[in-house]
Structure 1
Amino acid sequence: MKSNLITKWPEKVTNRAMLRAVGYKTNDFYKNQIGVASTWSNLTPCNNHINILAKAVEYSINNNNCKSTIFNTITVSDGISNGNIGMKYSLISREIISNSIETVCNAQSFDGLICIGGCDKNIPGCILGICKLNIPSIFLYSGTILPGKNRTDIVSVFESLGKFFSKKINKNELEIVEKESIIGSGSCGGLYTANSMAIVAEILGISIPNSSLKNAQSINKILDCLNIGKLINNLLIEKIKPSDIINKNSILESLKIISLLGGSTNCILHLLSIINILKIDIDLKKISEVTNNLPTISDLKPSGKFFISDLINAGGIQKFLKFLIEINIIKGNNITVTGKTLKDNLKNIKINYFNKILKDLNFPLKKTNQIKILFGNISINGSIAKISGKEGEIFIGKALVFNSEEEAIYFIYNNNIIKKSIIVIRYEGPKGGPGMREMLTPTSALIGKGIKNDVALITDGRFSGGSHGFVVGHICPEAYEKGNISIINNNDLIIIDTKNNFINLFLNKKNILNRKKNLIIINNLSIGILNLYRKFSLKSSKGASFDYE
């Protein structure tokens, strides 16, 4: 056992004495040591119940011939940090989470690991930590929140602010939305980033079957915790590691699923980061080959009508997965944390997934995919669009340029925007921000003002899973690295074509080069870990994680 480095008698008697002080008994030193990485905090409803789940996981592990030790890592609330400088720290928190898990587990010489996450960056942060450690591990999702009053949620609040500034609702109505939209514990309730990444984790095989779609405040989520001890013990016996589970095939299949469902664009960013850590041969061009021709079959928020809790009540996702295996869209042949393949895990599930939320593939909600990988002279290394289709598939308009999110938000709230404008928000990339902020506040403001079908928005930043409209993010190269987004001027003509998957500025190469000669790069204030991230972050097309090489 790896943990002999801290438990072996008599050489490690000092280590054992320290462990006795935190509750270890003599027989505990001869068991596999399992770290339980908890992202609990009272910062956000996504995570404020995880301490309860961690204690249930601890109980399960200790009753399955192993010894558990709970430790905490950080979380950053995307919902609270959105629209301000705090969002610069959101994506960085993914790196801090993965590095802190790696640090503690190696320092404590754990034999195995359970990670429990809720908010958006918890899930990829935990999975990245799991990948770097490569010891038997399981990720456990903390579950989704239930809708608020009148079927509202966090995105309802963001969009209500746009309505307030455009005088569609008054102060009292806005306050009611604030008070009644977010009630209880759990991650934001649509197919936003947390729920999208939870589904990804299940398809990757690193989480318990059918655990991605559970209400946070439910007995079923506690049952997941109580079943986990047996699973981690089996992984240790069978010597199954994350590198046996997460591979090229499981990643490509997770991309197919999240594309069919119309999930968060952040999933691609996070999967690119996992791909980079595991040195798997997949890039944006390969992702576009796999996903661009798939239909959209789910009517889930943000662009649809339904919450994840509605999908849970309609039977969840397992029948849908089995159907996809039956029609050969995915194979399901990759090993999972059960020691069985995804296909074997679904053996006893009956096919009959069709419901008002997940449509028949022959009669999809949209014949093309919501998530599109676009290339062109604005994004030579690629960009990621999220287009529901309700806004059309081709957008030609004149640029309205802002050099920060704050500039754009102020303008949107206080001005009328001309139809067919393409809002350009730049210097928000991994290095330029630094931090690659989400643009949920400006996209929600456009929706709240009722003009989302009249304008488009492009950025070298990224989007929340709750963003929708005609939006293109992750533009690479970013403005800070002299990407062509940096030389766009007001009233320049831009075309976004999601049928043919390109985004271009109507400017020839000679004029682009001439503009770059006089380009002055904006250098946003960068301190502490933001400065570290600016120096060592990879491009968004590589996942925007730290470059560890």
Structure 2
Amino acid sequence: MTFKPAKWPRKLRSQEWFGGSSRDNIYHRGWMKNQGFPHDLFDGRPVIGILNTWSELNPCNAHLNALAEKVKNGIYEAGGFPVEVPVFSVSESAFRPTAMMFRNIAAMSIEEQMRGQPMDGCVLLVGCDKTTPSLLMAAASTDLPSIVVTGGPMLNGYFRGERVGSGTHLWKFSEAVKAGEMSPAEFAEAEASMSRSAGSCNTMGTASTMASMAEALGMALSGNAAIPAVDSRRRVMAQLSGRRIVQMVKDDLKPSDILTREAFENAIRTNAAIGGSTNAVIHLLAIAGRVGIDLTLDDWDRLGRDVPTIVNLMPSGKYLMEEFFYAGGLPVVLKRLGEAGLLNKDALTVSGETAWEQVKDVVNHNEDVILPVERALTQSGGVVVLKGNLAPNGAVLKPSAATPSLMVHRGRAVVFEDIDDYKAKINDPDLDIDETCVMVLKNCGPKGYPGMAEVGNMGLPPKVLKKGITDMVRISDARMSGTAFGTVCLHTSPEAAVGGPLAIVQNGDFIQLDVPNRRLHLEVSDEEIARRQALWTPRIAPPDSGYAKLHHSHVMGADTGADLDFMLGCRGAPVGKDSH
């Protein structure tokens, strides 16, 4: 793609606040000066908002203040005026009922901060998995020059000589306790090894996936995704990004110049190659909707189908993000995709260079971490999109985290009407279930939970675990953590809470999963499905107040990104009339 930088100098939008000698200009400058800013900072240089998602209740982001200082240094060095702005910080580890419910309000509130304040460009300082898409959605909506700086992953965890992947081992150890293979005391001892440094998940969970998506989309500098949070090179990356955003403002290099269809295609193929989280599907669909790109589930299946998964990281493989960085990180993966003809090489990035110019000379330093294609974890990676009478609008499955022998399966449904029903029944020794059954969880989609929690990777019943079984086919309208694993069909659309076919599945129904043919089928006649749907009534009353009501009234289906229906499209960041 050819990009023509804007002529510089030019009048910036921040000058509507700070430039000139009117009463209103003096009002805005005067208040800012109570912080000790010299007058010449308001002379027409770019004002850069550092949108900081720091929060002590968001552990992945609790170190971002130190990175913000490095970003400021870079902005000052390049002749800009940095202003740090705290924004809505969504934590997957602490928010209830689920962080996903608040991704959209975060995006909406941050967009209005960008739109209504004197920023010429923005540094999106993110970490935990919902902060990255929410800030990218806001940037796509306002189209202000923006660059992503992620906080980076934690260092490897170790427990009794074994690598411990955040999230991934939580599920494994929890199942081992239920199976009687690990004591509760050992589980508690392992807790101390799971999070031994600042940063986000050290697996290829959703946080690391979305950091990789930001880089693959071209919205972060090359190499940003994998640098550990505590590595000094993470601070260097922050400072360089601060320098770069100033030039982006001068060039008027905007998200709409970068977030093209070609960029989204690169990201989808990258997600396949890294064994990325299924949550990336929802987030990229939402970001595309904000910038006006018509991206669909079919694009995910078509583009990822023939891409091998070559990154040997948990939950699909055995290593962690620390080793991924040492091996060369995402630039090596992008180079591999380019060599295989699977990268849109001319896609523009925030660096001003193309995707290929940035990676063509990088070197793979560990071929057991970033594998040769002939040793790929799976030759057909990506996210599988399943359709059929149980999922007319689609469901998704991650092959690299699934059991090959279960990819074609027929089993008897064991139904849980909602998450509370699941919790009440799953440990009951009299539950009529065995490893051949299909576990079905309802009412956990965007409207149902509410917010679409990460409960789709339902833990197996102890009676099955004690047989040594570690995986079963599971189907729901929920999400699952990117750190999780298993043969799990997720995001089933339409969801049960709006009367989708999932809502009328009954105990004893037989369900067919056929991944090679992309099929998810309920063995019930069309007439019986229609009869059951005619009798169906919602199980959950809609909220009657607050954001929960707004969310329930306007959230769209998972198959379109679960954004709010009135937030689609790029609305730009016009400068309104000053009211003072």
TM-score interval, smaller chain: over 0.9
Distance in 1 between residues matched to 2:392 and 2:273, nearest whole Å? 26
Partner of residue 199, structure 2: 186
1:18-33 superposed matches below 5 A: 18-30=31-43, 31-33=45-47
> Any residues of structure 2 matched to 1:77-92 within 5 Å, and which?
77-81=91-95, 86-88=96-98, 90-92=99-101
Structure 2 partner of 1:515: 532
Q: How many residues align?
A: 543
Do the aligned partners of 2:309 and 2:380 also contact (CA within 8 Å) in 1?
A: yes
| Cα displacement (A) at 1:347 | 4.0
Does residue 533 (structure 1) correspond to residue 551 (structure 2)? The answer is yes
Q: What letter matches 2:437 in structure 1? A: S
The verdict on how the C-alpha distance between 1:80 and 1:166 changes in structure 2, with shifts beyond 3 A counting, is farther
Q: Conserved in 2, the CA contact under 8 Å of 1:405 and 1:442?
A: no
- Counterparts of 2:393 and 2:457, CA distance in 1: 26
SS in 2 for 1:127: helix
1:46·1:185 contact (CA, 8 Å) conserved in 2?
yes
What is aligned with 2:450?
A: 434
Give 1:544 deviation, angstroms.
Answer: 0.1
- Aligned-partner residue type, residue 111 of structure 1: D
Matched, 1:349 2:367: no
Larger mean CA deviation between 111-120 and 153-162 belongs to 153-162
Provide, for residues 265-299 of structure 1, a one-character-per-residue CA deviation record: whole Å limited to 9, x for no partner: 00011011012112212211222111123332232
- Equivalent residue, structure 2, for 1:424: 440
Query: Counterpart of 1:473 in 2: which secondary structure?
Result: strand
CA distance 1:374–1:87, change in 2 (3 Å):
same
Counterpart secondary structure, 1:46: helix
1:107 positional shift: 1.8
Q: Tell me the distance in 2 between the aligned counterparts of 1:471 and 1:171.
A: 27
Which of 367, 384, 388 lines up with 2:379 in the alignment? 367
Q: TM-score, normalised by structure 1?
A: 0.94
Sort the Cα spacing of 1:46 and 1:162 in 2 relative to 1 into closer, same or farther, 3 A: same
Aligned to 1:489: 506
**SS of 1:548 mapped into structure 2:** helix
Distance 2:423 2:129 in 1: 23
The separation in 1 between residues aligned to 2:126 and 2:541, in whole angstroms, is 31
Please list, as runs of the form range in 1=range in 2, the aligned pairs for 1:237-316 lying within 5 A after superposition: 237-316=250-329
2:445–2:491 Cα contact (<8 Å) kept: yes
* Letter paired with 1:141: T
The one of 446, 468, 477 aligned to 2:485: 468
**Helix, strand or coil for the counterpart of 1:517?**
helix
**Cα distance in 2 between the residues matched to 1:470 and 1:173:** 27
Aligned to 1:195: 208
Specify the SS of the correspondent of 1:329: coil
Shift of 1:129: 1.1
Alpha-carbon distance in structure 2 between the residues aligned to 1:208 and 1:449? 48
135, 140, 143: which one aligns with 1:131: 140
Indicate the percent of aligned positions where both proteins have the same amino acid. Answer: 27
Distance 2:490 2:563 in 1: 17
Q: Give, in whole Å, the separation in 2 of the partners of 1:314 and 1:450.
A: 38
Hey, what does 1:6 align to over in structure 2?
A: 17
Aligned residues of 1:162 and 1:413 also touching (Cα < 8 A): no
Task: Give how far 1:440 is off.
Answer: 6.2
Q: In structure 1, what is the equivalent of residue 115 of structure 2?
A: 106
Aligned counterparts of 1:190 and 1:35: Cα–Cα separation in 2: 30
Q: Does 2:352 match 1:339?
A: yes
Tell me the SS of whatever aligns to 2:282.
Answer: helix
Q: Distance in 1 between matches of 2:458 and 2:540?
A: 22
Are 2:394 and 1:382 aligned? yes
Residues 305/414 of structure 1: CA separation in 2 closer, same or farther (3 Å cut): farther
1:311-330 alignment runs, 5 A limit: 311-330=324-343
Cα distance per residue 1:456-505 (max 9 Å; x no partner): 11111111101211101110001111110001000110011111111010
Q: Match for 1:50: what amino acid?
A: L
| Equivalent in the alignment of 1:477 | 494
How do 1:154-233 residues align onto structure 2 when only pairs under 5 Å count?
A: 154-233=167-246
Match of residue 73 from structure 1: 87
8 Å CA contact 1:394–1:496 kept in 2: the answer is yes
Give the 3-state SS of the residue equivalent to 1:78 in structure 2. coil
Q: Choose which of 515, 518, 521 in structure 2 pairs with 1:504.
A: 521
AA of the residue aligned to 2:370: L
Residues in 2 aligned to 1:155 and 1:440: alpha-carbon distance in whole angstroms: 14
Deviation at 1:258, TM superposition (A): 0.5
- In structure 2, the CA distance between the partners of 1:308 and 1:444, relative to structure 1 (3 Å rule), is farther
Counterpart CA distance in 1 for 2:341 and 2:149 is 28
Contact 1:158/1:445 (<8 A) preserved? no
RMSD, aligned α-carbons: 2.0
Q: For residues 369 and 349 of structure 1, do their structure 2 counterparts lie closer, same or farther at Cα, with a shift above 3 Å needed?
A: closer
Q: What is the Cα deviation at residue 370 of structure 1?
A: 5.2
1:162 and 1:445 in contact (8 A); partners too: no
C-alpha separation in 1, matches of 2:427 and 2:277: 25
Pick one of 71, 90, 103 that aligns with 1:57: 71
Q: C-alpha distance in 2, partners of 1:420/1:67?
A: 62
Give unmatched runs, 5+ long, in structure 2.
1-11, 568-580
Which amino acid in structure 1 is aligned with residue 453 of structure 2?
Answer: R
Cα distance in 1 for partners of 2:117, 2:394 equals: 41
Q: Which one of 116, 122, 130 corresponds to residue 121 of structure 1? A: 130
Moved more, 339-348 or 531-540: 339-348
Deviation at 1:444, TM superposition (A): 7.9
Aligned mate of 2:421, from 395, 407, 431: 407
- SS of equivalent to 1:36: strand
Supply the distance in 2 between the matched residues of 1:358 and 1:167 (Cα, whole angstroms): 35
Asked whether the equivalents of residues 259 and 296 of structure 1 are also in contact (C-alpha less than 8 Å), the reply is yes
Q: Quick one: distance in 2 between partners of 1:335 and 1:43?
A: 36
Q: Aligned in 2, Cα 1:5/1:449: closer, same or farther, shift over 3 Å?
A: farther
Residues 408 and 515 in structure 2, CA contact (< 8 A), matched pair in contact too: yes
| Mapped contact 1:158–1:441 kept (Cα < 8 A) | no
Residues 452 and 140 of structure 1, relative CA distance in 2, 3 Å threshold: farther
Q: Is the 8 A contact 1:408 1:425 kept in 2?
A: yes
Sort the Cα spacing of 1:444 and 1:348 in 2 relative to 1 into closer, same or farther, 3 A: farther
Task: Mark the CA change 1:450 to 1:67 in structure 2 (over 3 Å): closer, same or farther.
Answer: farther
Q: Are the structure 2 counterparts of residues 3 and 451 from structure 1 closer, same or farther at C-alpha, using a change threshold of 3 Å?
A: farther
Q: Secondary structure at the match of 1:257?
A: helix
- Greater CA deviation, 376-385 or 341-350? 341-350
Q: Secondary structure at the match of 1:149?
A: strand
Cα drift, residue 197 of structure 1: 0.8
Counterpart of 1:424 in 2: which secondary structure?
A: strand
Q: What do the CA deviations read for 1:408-454 (whole angstroms, capped 9, x no partner)?
A: 23433444641211111111111122201111672488897676655
